[in-house]
Structure 1
Amino acid sequence: METVKETPIAPSVKVQSAKKRKLSADHLTAIGFLLPSFLLILIFVYGFIGWTGYVSVSSWNSLVPDFSFAGLENYLFLFQDFRFQADLRNTLFFTILFIGLVIVMGILLAILLDQKIKGESIFRNIFFFPMALSFVVTGVVWQWILNPSTGVNLFLKNFGIQPKWYTDTNILAGFKWGSIEFGLPAALFAVVLAAVWQMTGFSLAMYLAGLRGISEEVREAARMDGASEFTIYRKIILPLLRPITVSVIIIMAHISLKIFDLIYAMTGPGANFVTDVPGVYMFETTFRGNMYANGAAIAIIMLLTVAIFIVPYLISSRKGET
């Protein structure tokens, strides 16, 4: 009988096979850890978004569920509605003022703290403190501070000044647009003030980290070329902080477009809806008016407005990483 000779397996082949088995086991372990989170997100985020979109094109505007197809009827109703048009106007001006002031205040305070002033840690904690509060607490506190009959008005009364703050129904530079007067509602200044007070600490932290990350050699080189401090910040520092500015804009836009708790706790819809926003309208329409299809339509519109800011940013970030 002929003996069959076994072909010896090279050590390198054995090592590669062991690595493949280990890699496969690592993959299965990773999938096992990620699968529960993936399923929960799929159900409770995207599943509920899909359900909200389905309800928004139904006729369910009463306590009795009615899933008959209504098309874009609920959306058309909203864009012709006086209150929703006022909400879009308020959201536009609130977003512009909120983002602009948060960026300006964050940059100025960050530059101030970057000068290595005495008691920097104390000032830093003071500026960061409002971020530890919820928007509900902020709304209640500022509602009392800016109450037309109490708060700061008790002091201003001595000078003959009595602002109406968030109860003011005047529209600045207003003109007729649709069913509403389009312009800047004076009452929004009070709400913007409260929101900026709370979120400036976040902007400050971002810009301060960016300033501390810029090498001192860059500034020294500019000074040697005869550049003034103002020119250094305008021509060198601020352009280097542009990625941080973009991040702050995206995050603040996300907050302002879906704002609810601050407005609801501080002013509510306001007289003539001068401080109303889609989030408050959605809550009252859905859970007080039992008009579920209209409330779902408002939620989808809010989602789309936020996506206008978030999706391009995510795409550009993804391209940058690639």
Structure 2
Amino acid sequence: MPGRDPVLRRKRKKFSWDKTSAILTLVPSLILLGVFVYGFIGWTGWVSTTAWNSIIPDFASVGLRNFKIIFSTFRFQSDLRNMVVFTALFIALCLVIGIALALLIDQKIRAESLFRSLYLFPMAISSVATGVVWSWLLNPTTGVNLILKSLGLNHLPEWFLSTRILPGTPLGQIEIALPLALLAVLIAAVWQMSGFAMAVYLAGLRGIPEELKEAARIDGAGPWRTFWSVVLPQLKGTTTTIIIILTAASLKVFGLIYAMTGPGQDFVTDMPSMNMFDTTYQGNQFAEGAAIAIVMLILIAIFIIPYLISTLKQGEEA
């Protein structure tokens, strides 16, 4: 009988042991993940519905009152404006610069590895160190602004500390548009992360079959036509991946802004992450800080969950 075959029994026993050992290996990680990630997310969500807004814990339920409070404040409204403007410009600039650099490197240039390393180098620097360096470069009395002053552009050095909103359309308690001082943070963030977009795009370009490009050239397509009609459509998945990762990074940006400008006058460079830190650890308003954290979590989930679902569907179809 096959079931009595000693070789088959040993194989079944080995498979059963391998399966058990694999499960046992994952159990500690799953426990830690459940406690320190999902457990604390649940705890934060619960705290956001309590009255714990002092140094003394108060777990009396207040429903969504903390969310109503934060959305009605001038600072949080400014945070949402800054976050939307920063995220949109940050992603757009990183995509454009990233694909431009990737296309240049993909031309089989000399010292390709050197250029790749140079473009990726800013990612190796911590966001705090990046913020400190760029705050010196863009400070009105040092760095780049000294060059601007020497060229007679005396009206430009103050933009780093400006509270102007361009063009400035009133909405609620704030003005909707681009805070001029936010450009400083945007420059530093794009400098640091455009190399990441370059690396991902370069991997995507190297994955496009050369036969597709050759067929387009045979059909008479020039370089630009080949790029728009053949190369760019093949990079759709790559672009989506970059957008998702950069969106998550921009929504939770903290160290860079904290080191460069802080919240800024009139909160022109403030972000929800900095607001949450100040509200929770400086103001001891733990419930309101937890509410801000939950809003950030929801915003990140809005972008990431659809991406994960589409990725799973593509995996099943493959």
Scaled to the shorter chain, the TM-score interval is over 0.9
- Whether the 8 Å contact between 1:166 and 1:270 is mirrored in structure 2 is no
The 2-side partners of 1:293 and 1:164 are apart by 37
- Alpha-carbon distance in structure 2 between the residues aligned to 1:25 and 1:172: 66
CA apart distance, 1:10: 4.1
Question: Which secondary structure does the structure 2 equivalent of 1:184 belong to?
Answer: strand
Answer yes or no: is 1:137 the counterpart of 2:132.
no
* Corresponding residue for residue 188 of structure 2: 194
Deviations along 1:219-246, whole A, 9 cap, x unmatched?
1211111100010001100110111000
Q: Give the direction of change, closer, same or farther, for the CA distance of 1:160–1:22 in structure 2 (3 Å limit).
A: same
2:173 aligned with 1:179 = yes
Structure 1 CA distance, aligned partners of 2:49 and 2:250?
Answer: 26
Q: Which runs of 4+ in 1 moved over 6 A?
A: none
Q: Where does residue 68 of structure 2 map in the other structure?
A: 76
Pick one of 270, 273, 283 that aligns with 1:276.
Answer: 270
Determine the C-alpha separation between the residues in 2 that align with 1:147 and 1:19: 69
Which of 222, 235, 241 is 1:241 aligned to? 235
**1:109 pairs with 2:78:** no
Which SS does the other structure have where 2:168 is aligned?
Answer: strand
| Aligned match of 2:18 | 26
Identify which of 71, 81, 87 aligns with 1:89. 81
Q: Deviation per CA, 1:13-36: give whole Å up to 9, x if none.
A: 555443332222112101110000
Q: Could you tell me whether the CA contact under 8 Å between 2:3 and 2:9 is conserved in 1?
A: no
Residue of structure 2 equivalent to 1:306:
300
RMSD across aligned positions (CA): 1.3
Instruction: Return the offset for 1:118.
Output: 2.4
Q: Percent identity?
A: 56
Match in the other structure for 2:47? 55
Q: CA deviation at 1:163?
A: 3.0
Alpha-carbon distance between aligned partners in 2 of 1:201 and 1:221, rounded to the nearest angstrom? 30
Structure 2 SS opposite 1:164: helix
Where in structure 2 are there 5+ consecutive unaligned residues? Answer: none
Q: In terms of mean alpha carbon deviation, does 150-159 or 121-130 score higher?
A: 121-130
1:313/1:58 CA distance change after superposition, 3 Å: same
Whole-angstrom CA distance in 1 between matches of 2:304 and 2:76: 23
2:170 match: secondary structure:
strand
For the residues of structure 2 that align with 1:84 and 1:16, how far apart are their CA atoms? Answer: 66
Contact 1:269 1:277 in 2 (8 A): yes
- What SS does structure 1 have at the residue aligned with 2:157? coil
| Aligned residue pair count | 314
CA distance in 2, matches of 1:17, 1:304: 51
Which residue of the partner structure matches residue 310 of structure 2? 316
Over alpha carbons, which structure has the higher Rg? 1
